[in-house]
Structure 1
Amino acid sequence: MRFLRQVLESFRFAWQALRSNLLRTTLSLLGVTVGIFSIIAVFTLVDSLERNVKDSVNVLGSNALYIQKIPWTFDGPFQWWKYFQRPELKYADFRYLHEHLEDAEAVAAASGKNGVTVKNGNNSMKIRLSGVTSDYNQVTDVALSDGRYFTAQEQDGSRNAVILGSEVAETLFPGQDPVGQAMKVAGLNFTIIGIQEKKGSGVLEIGGSADKRCLIPYNTYAKYFASLNPSITIFAKGYDSDPGLENLEGEIRGIMRTRRSLKPTQEDNFAINRPEALFKFISGIFAVLTTAGWVIGGFSILIGGFGIANIMFVSVKERVNIIGIQKSLGAKNYFILFQFLFESVLLSLVGGLAGIALVYLLSFIQLGTLTLELTIGNISLGLGVSSVIGVLAGIIPAYSASRLDPVIAIRSK
């Protein structure tokens, strides 16, 4: 109990010392403020950007493989001359995989084109039109706010049914319920059966904004918009019992090589792409940015730490006489040490809090589609770094003060 009381008394002395030298205190914490602001601002920007990009990438679906003509290559040279000679994936390839794959929970296909005009009365806009199969919503994220998804009968029968993106619905049918109504897609009559949930804008929009996209059955798309056997992307979703989708990937490779009559010595003339490869590539980029944040902020906070250490040596020198009096009255060494150590840590924490406050104010600035969010983790990191800097900057001055001889200290002026 006595020890705790002396610790609290040391804290009170440290607080009074800081209050009595407000100008010096303010100037001392500027270095830490700039350093913490630099680190936490970069981390907040990187975290917000990474979260936004990964949310955009999530539309690719989870636990799924993409069968395409060209691989997603993020390291090494891109051998475009070889990839572009490969045959296109066709709807017949999708049907073949759909019939023969056993390790897939769902198999879907999609194709699309940009700049298609949709119209309702005097309202019109240009959108991305995607033709998708009936299992497409089982592989990728197609959340609906109203209506329903396509049935297998609508897909096989090439029905003129359409699902609108949220922005398309708001533009063509302001203040109305579009489900069940008719509209024009490139001059053709279509019936609206569903509305997609609003996704909002993202930094990285793969395949365009979902809010400005319309979905129609693939056979309808092929009949009206791509009658010359269009190239498609095939999606295969694996079972949870197949970790890493190794069985599914092996089965797809075997089936496709058989279908294309490839010899054992020949390379694949198709690509099996994984969304996690894109996640890994993105994570690598942000790891570099995070390291850059530590380097940028590290120099600033190092300067701030030296500034606090210098001020603490000055503070010790100014209060040598008081230290001697306290020790002659029975003050323990740890009581003196805690006074200056608490002063250093308080000084650094106040600087850290000021830096975090600046980052919080920065989060209100509009950066287009990017929303900055100061997380609890980054706040804790800022306060933790501030505390460590305070301890490191104050420990030597505090220790030297605690070891002063009381007789010599009282005689000093």
Structure 2
Amino acid sequence: MAYAAGIVRDAIIDFLTQHQREASTSEITHAVSRLIGPVASSSVRSYLNLNTPGLFTRVARGHYRLTLTGETALSGDFALAHAGDARLIHADCFDWLAQQQENRFQAVVTDPPYSLLEYSPTHTAKLRAGKGGIWRLPPSFDGRQRAPLPRFTVLNAADRENLWLFFARLAHSLHRVIVPGANVVVASNPLLCHLVASAMSSSGLELRGYLVRQVMTMRGGDRPKNAHNEFNMVSVMPRSQWEPWVLLRKPLEGRAQDNLRRWHTGGFRRPATDKPFGDLIRSHPTPAGEKRIAPHPSLKPQGFMRQLVRAVLPLAQGEVLDPFMGAGSTLAAANAVGYRSVGVEIDADFYQMAKQSVQRLSALKLKNE
């Protein structure tokens, strides 16, 4: 059977990327035939030999691997650490993504910064010193010390434009390194989720809706500032009881079933055969015990993250990427459900925190598990 130019080559790359080690010509031929249909071993050998020493490296007679694969491709010039089946990279994610090969990851789950300045060195220094910076310090109305929260309501028109450009750039960078049908799930908030959806869908990703994390937060519900007695029956904006996560997808190759066979993704994994994955997940604020393990200001609870991360690989095959790793809650959840994952973090302190916290978070036993 004749295939369009590049189809056999791409199938070989897909298999060796998933395989994560060298393979014999017969193994590669068998895998490619399963992905795209019957292929002659001579055709596979011609691709392997013609591209050597470019895409493929001959490591022994009749055995090949990807030239850029595994940890060399992942780390490049950046620091690399391990935590179970998770690999942690200390890098600017945009620089790091630019060095990764195409069609590398099967899903993305991430919680990016939103005011853009909030995680800059200047403002993280203020945060760590307890001086706030552009972070909102919740009142200690019950006598408890509360962690600062990022301020979403102070963004002006220029900030929102920069945020749109940031998410458009992120989508463009991710589009190249994820496989067709890969889910991209991005944490957001009710005031800015429309902007995230618009920016990322403008760069080639398909908007697939929103996932709702049902949780009571500290945001909203306040009376007018400096006039709370005069307008004691007024809330300036509703008290937020949900957190939106924007759902996007790299366009499929062919039908959903075709994409699932070739790329192992193109949908969400069901909790059970008789129960579809739903877009509402009941949650709670991150427990104090998890915050003690990983005192990151935006740490998400494992009870929620494990449900979400489990769902993004429909066949439980592949690797999950978090380009804004923070303290590593996505990677910890991936470890807990048995997935491989990669996280990237630019902040040195948060990177060190993740190195210590990922395995401890993944080892937690939750009530409903």
Same fold (TM over 0.5): no
Q: Which has the larger radius of gyration?
A: 1
Q: Higher helix proportion, which one?
A: 1
TM-score (norm 2): 0.23
